[in-house]
C-alpha cells in the first residue's frame, strides 16, 4: 500500500521568503503526482500535476519537482505572500488506470506579513 | 453553475440512520470519486467510478454504498451510520487518468 508523507506538518515563514514543501512516497510505481491547496473549511484546489515521465512542472510562482527513483517530490513557492497561507497536500496517483489518489496529511503553511 | 457540487454541505444524524450524500458534476467527466478526510489520516478513497454503472472499492469502503446510474451523479449512502463515519466527505471528478481531479466543497457529517 502506498504511503505518502509530508514533512513538516506546519511551517511559518515571513512574507517574501522562498520556501520548499516536501513529499515522500514509498512505492515508486506511480502514475502521476499532484499538489493541492486546501483553505480552512474548503475543498481542494489543484495546483500542479506531474506525470510519471516528467521531472517538474511550473505555474507562476510555483514549481513542483518529481524524483520517482528516490520517492520524493518538492513544491517550491517563490516570494511567498500572506495569501499563500493554506494547507498544501501532496497526492500520488496509482497505476490502476483510474488514477486513484493516495494523499499525505499535508503541510499547513502560514505566511506572516 | 458549472462545476462539481455536493449536498448537503452539513448534516447531523444519529447512529443507525441511513444517510445519502449527493454529488453532481456538469463536465460529463468519466471518473468520479468519494474521499473522506479525517485528522491524522488525510484523505482516503472510499469508492470510485470509471463510468455510469461501473463502480469499484477504494481503501475504506466498509459501511458505504454507491451507485452511478447517470454520468453526472454519484451518490454515497451510509446504510447504517456509525460514529466512526463522522468526517468530511469530498467528491471529485476527472475526465481521464492523465488529468487532474477536481474536488467539490465537501460535506461535513456528524454522527451522534
Chain A residues within 8 A of B105 when measuring between CB atoms:
42-43
Model confidence pLDDT, tens digit, residues B45-59: 999 999 999 999 999
Chain A residues within 8 A of B101 when measuring between CB atoms:
34, 46, 99, 101
* Nearest-CA distance A70 → chain B (Å): 22
pLDDT of residue A97: 61
Model confidence pLDDT, tens digit, residues B32-45: 999 999 988 889 99
The cell for B87 is 468526517
Model confidence pLDDT, tens digit, residues A16-74: 999 999 999 999 888 899 999 999 888 899 999 999 899 999 999 999 999 999 999 99
Q: How buried is A1 (Cβ within 10 angstroms: 0-12 exposed, 13-18 middle, 19+ buried)?
A: exposed
How far is the C-alpha of A24 from the C-alpha of B12, rounded, in Å?
A: 36
Is the pLDDT at A5 greater than 60? The verdict is yes
The cell for A14 is 515571513
* Smallest CA–CA distance from A100 into chain B, residue: B45
- The stretches in chain B having pLDDT less than 50 are none
Question: Which of B40, B58, B100 lies closest to A49 in CB terms?
Answer: B100
Q: Using alpha carbons, list the distances in angstroms from residue B14 to B11, B17, B84, B85.
A: 10, 6, 12, 11
How far is the C-alpha of A62 from the C-alpha of A50, rounded, in Å?
A: 13
Whether the Cβ atoms of residue A80 and residue A19 lie closer than 8 Å to each other: yes
- The one-character DSSP state at A49 is E
Q: Residue B11 half-sphere exposure, CB side, CA atoms within 13 Å?
A: 25
Amino acid at each position: 500500500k502506498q504511503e505518502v508523507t509530508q514533512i513538516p506538518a506546519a511551517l511559518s515563514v515571513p512574507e517574501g521568503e522562498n520556501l520548499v514543501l516536501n513529499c515522500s512516497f514509498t512505492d515508486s510505481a506511480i502514475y502521476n503526482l499532484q499538489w493541492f491547496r486546501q483553505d480552512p473549511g474548503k475543498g481542494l484546489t489543484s495546483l500542479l500535476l506531474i506525470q510519471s515521465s516528467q521531472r517538474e512542472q511550473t505555474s507562476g510562482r510555483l514549481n513542483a519537482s518529481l524524483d520517482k527513483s528516490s520517492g520524493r517530490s518538492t513544491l517550491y513557492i517563490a516570494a511567498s505572500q500572506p495569501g499563500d497561507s493554506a494547507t498544501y497536500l501532496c497526492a500520488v496517483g496509482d497505476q490502476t488506470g483510474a488514477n486513484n489518489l493516495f494523499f499525505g496529511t499535508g503541510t499547513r503553511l502560514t505566511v506572516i506579513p | 453553475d458549472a462545476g462539481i457540487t455536493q449536498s448537503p454541505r452539513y448534516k447531523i444524524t444519529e447512529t443507525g440512520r441511513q444517510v445519502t450524500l449527493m454529488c453532481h458534476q456538469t463536465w460529463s467527466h468519466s471518473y468520479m470519486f468519494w474521499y473522506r478526510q479525517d485528522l491524522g489520516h488525510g484523505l482516503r478513497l472510499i469508492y470510485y467510478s470509471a463510468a455510469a454503472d461501473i463502480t469499484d472499492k477504494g481503501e475504506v469502503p466498509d459501511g458505504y454504498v454507491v451507485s452511478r446510474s447517470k454520468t453526472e451523479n454519484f451518490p454515497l449512502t451510509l446504510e447504517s451510520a456509525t460514529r466512526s463515519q463522522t468526517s468530511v466527505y469530498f467528491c471529485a471528478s476527472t475526465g481521464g487518468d492523465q488529468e487532474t481531479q477536481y474536488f467539490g466543497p465537501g460535506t461535513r457529517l456528524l454522527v451522534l
